[in-house]
Amino acid sequence: MEFRLTSLPLTNMDVLLRVLLSLSALAGIHSITTVSQVSVRAGGSITIPCLYESKYTNHVKYLCRGYSWVSCSDEVKTNKPSSSGKFSISDDKQRKIFTVTINDLTEEDTEYYWCVEEIDGGGDSGTYFKLSVTTKTPSLDISNQEITGSTGSQIAINCTNSNSGEMKWCRLGGSCLTKSGSIHGTAFTISGNVAGVFTVTMNELSKESSGWYLCVKGDFQMPVHITVTEKPTTTKSAATTEPVKHTPEPVKHTPEPVKHTPEPVKHTPEPVKHTSSSADQAPSTVEVEHQSVSGNLKIFIIRWSLLIIFAMVNLFIWFMYKRQERTIVESSATKTVEAEDEDVTNSNMP
């Protein structure tokens, strides 16, 4: 049966909604767990996780829009994707969670939505959430719904808020923390040191830490998906096995170095030649210096030799001059004596 409720006053619709929700609860409407109220900025997108029971793994899931579940309109189904691109849906059967994404949000998208699963031979089962789209600051927001960390590391999630109420950190379908504690073996700490922001720190991440969580402040919730990957140690171990796999290749290429061994031997003389040339160059410099010194010494000796010869020549000339002078004197003296003798002889003659 389908109800038309849009003409009722808001207060009457609230009362009727509670009645419908109570009736739906009797039909198993709480078989799906999701958020209750989400505030999002216009122009963005939002992904809502819907956790279901294992018995509904192979059932069709869909998103329904409208104040009343019995009169809401189907937007997208797992067996019938939306053609407009406004809505999308995916089903993670391993984790028993299907997610719905609403893109290009406007204020007109402010509405009640239902996460629903089809029940063959009976009434469908679903749970509603309220989506509020605003052009102002959302009541509770996060910069990124998808956060990734590695095992053993630490991550921090900042939840900005402008509303009052108790702040919590919850695992979808699980327990909640208000200050600090552990969920699925992962330690959490909640701090609100900055006005308008509370920070959730997750320590010593493990693979079990992966999943959907909720930032909660008062009546508003914001879903956050945490993905924990293996630390690079796994990659290192894989890289360690690669050399083992490639070990045969160096063995195969071993002959190549052997083949190329003669080449270094052939080229060995070249270094020797170059070594000798460099050695020759070093002594040549020394020889040049020695030649320069010996050349200067020769010049010095020649100059002194010339001086000595010149002195000796001068001495010889002086000696010869003195000797000649003495000879001349002696010759004059002899002639004088002879003349005197001759005079004496002549005087003695009759």
DSSP state string for 175-199: -EESSEEEETTEEEEEEEEETTEEE
pLDDT per residue of the chain (350 residues) written in tens, 0 to 9: 333 333 334 455 555 555 554 454 444 455 899 999 999 999 999 999 999 999 999 999 999 999 987 889 999 999 987 778 899 999 999 999 999 999 999 999 999 999 999 998 778 899 999 999 999 999 999 999 999 999 999 999 999 999 889 999 999 999 899 988 998 889 999 998 788 999 999 999 999 999 999 999 999 999 999 999 998 765 544 444 444 444 445 444 444 444 444 444 444 444 434 443 443 444 444 444 455 556 667 777 777 778 788 788 888 887 787 777 777 766 666 666 555 555 544 554 44
Measuring CA to CA, how many Å separate 48 from each of 110, 165, 312, 315?
Answer: 14, 22, 124, 128
The answer to whether the predicted template modeling score (pTM) of the entire model surpasses 0.95 is no
Q: Which residues, other chains included, contact 214 with Cβ-Cβ below 8 Å and sequence gap of 6+? A: 35, 168, 169, 170, 171, 172, 176, 221, 222, 223, 224
Q: Report which of 31, 66, 32, 63 is spatially closest to residue 46, judged by C-alpha positions.
A: 63
Instruction: Report the alpha-carbon distance of residue 133 to residue 135 in Å, rounded.
Output: 7
